[in-house]
């Protein structure tokens, strides 16, 4: 009798519960927090639904909606062309599908972010994690857990801004450069509104995660949740952005496959 195929084993594990599907996506609605840029810049749209029909005279047997949303509203995928450093690289529809399924490393800095919302991850933090857990996955994701998803119920708490700007955790400029240019991962995933720390506008370069990652043909995932349910290593992330032709990103359904004993 032949051995079961890898895909058959996967399906069996999903049905039997030895492989759990963890949804890392924030629900998308009009109350989903959005990034706020200074007033002189263009702003992303909040998510809106426009009802077309709901089992009524406009359509007696069907319910459907039009929707309006920014590409970078809610849980979303940043493509390389989102930033000027990657302007000649892939749009979101051109990202190879094989790169949308990849292993992930989960680095937990929840305690640090709770103590200091401006906490920055340094290269030494990542290398210390590697000493304990092994190298970052080649062709995989670095997922940054900070506990920020607990604030997703409130625009104000999530953006956490004052007169000096937003205060959210993220990578230092040097760590952003290292992740983009020296590490083997294909992208960075975060729980915050964008891949950069809240103070990223004042760094050199400004918004270094965007600048370095996009310029290195790498990706971003933002507004993730449920990272607390993932192991430090061993899970597989499936990121499914809408393939918007020429788009710089798109809302995405992001899931993780996790083996459970």
Known catalytic residues are 82
- Provide the token pair at 130: 């590697």
**Can you tell me whether residue 10 is helix, strand or coil?**
helix
- Residue 105 to residue 76: CA distance in whole angstroms: 19
**Tokens (6 digits) for 6:** 């890898």
Q: Centre a 10 Å sphere on the Cβ of residue 119 and count the other Cβ atoms it contains.
A: 20
Strands 120-121 and 170-171: parallel
Nearest to 20 by CA among 239, 235, 191, 225: 235
Burial of residue 20 (number of CB atoms within 10 Å: 0-12, 13-18, 19+): middle
């Amino acid at each position: 009798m032949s051995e079961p195929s890898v895909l058959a084993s996967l399906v069996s594990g999903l049905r039997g519960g030895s492989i759990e599907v963890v949804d890392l996506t924030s629900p998308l609605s009009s109350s989903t927090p959005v990034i706020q840029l200074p007033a002189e810049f263009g702003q992303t749209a909040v998510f809106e639904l426009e009802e077309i029909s709901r089992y009524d005279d406009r359509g007696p047997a069907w319910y459907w909606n039009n929707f309006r949303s920014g590409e970078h509203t809610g849980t979303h995928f940043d493509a390389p062309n989102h930033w000027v450093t990657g302007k000649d690289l892939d749009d979101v529809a051109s990202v190879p599908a094989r790169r949308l399924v990849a292993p992930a490393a989960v680095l937990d800095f929840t305690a640090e972010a709770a103590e200091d919302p401006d906490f920055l991850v340094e290269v030494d933090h990542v290398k210390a994690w590697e000493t304990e857990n092994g190298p970052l996955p080649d062709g995989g994701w670095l997922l940054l857990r900070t506990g920020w998803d607990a604030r997703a119920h409130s625009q104000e708490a999530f953006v956490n801004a004052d007169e000096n700007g937003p205060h959210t955790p993220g990578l230092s400029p040097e760590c952003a450069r290292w992740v983009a240019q020296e590490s083997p991962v294909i992208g960075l995933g975060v729980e915050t509104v964008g891949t950069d720390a809240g103070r990223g506008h004042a760094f050199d370069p400004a918004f270094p995660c965007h600048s370095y990652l996009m310029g290195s043909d790498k990706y971003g995932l933002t507004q993730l949740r449920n990272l607390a349910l993932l192991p430090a290593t061993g899970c597989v992330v499936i990121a499914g952005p809408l393939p918007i032709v020429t788009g710089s990103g798109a809302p995405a359904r992001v899931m993780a496959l996790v083996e459970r004993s």
